[in-house]
Amino acid sequence: MTRLSVNINKIATLRNARGGNNPDVIQAAIRCEQFGAQGITVHPRPDERHIRRADVLALRDVVTTEFNIEGYPDERFIQLVQEVRPAQATLVPDPPGVLTSNAGWNTISQAVFLKTVVAKIKGMGIRVSLFVDASEEMVKGAAAAGADRIELYTEPYAAAYHQDRESAVAPFVNAASVARKLGLGLNAGHDLDRHNLRFLKQSIPDLDEVSIGHALICDALYLGLENTIQLYLRELK
């Protein structure tokens, strides 16, 4: 079964908008796990506009499923994952100040850099996933860089899903096939929701993990967190 990792950044955004500790990010992560989530994802950024370094350190002591830390692999990020030792580090090409991840790595032009940071993080005993576009060339570059997995950047799929879902998913099916032939694990994330998730899973049945934050937390406002997580798990079965 494909694992559901809940990205809790948006819960931290809500907390930070008012100050204090309501909602409590740590308790939210615990509840997500209790409600069936098989992983917790965070994406700390240098300005700490949502998840803070202190949150990541606190989550280290309470997450009992898979802990996944996303981020741009600068020295700050590498020091954080070295201290926390999550199950997985997902490396994304976000420059400082970007609103959200909006492209995958160019694993060809960034080959030397990626090989260096992937080797450093894998040397800590942490699984490394590279955030990539659904491109055969980029997937091959991820394998050459030494990554354990790729995370397919699914915003293009989500954007085109309601117009022509078969065409929308085709590049992702091809990229997934290439990844499996190269021995890479398969994750996916970005703009996945209750409407487009099932078809992606049906089209790529051997997905290891999806990471979902924004849509899931939005649904939880209407449907409740426990119910929402169960609905997403249902789409993955």
The set of catalytic residues is 43, 70, 190
**Alpha-carbon span 148 to 129, nearest angstrom:** 6
Q: What tokens does 78 get? A: 């590498």
Name the residue among 177, 174, 181, 207 with its Cα closest to residue 192.
Answer: 207
Does an H or E element contain 236, and which? helix 225-236
Three state DSSP letters for 149-211: EEEEECHHHHHHCCCCHHHHHHHHHHHHHHHHHCCCEEEEECCCCCCCHHHHHHHCCCCCEEE
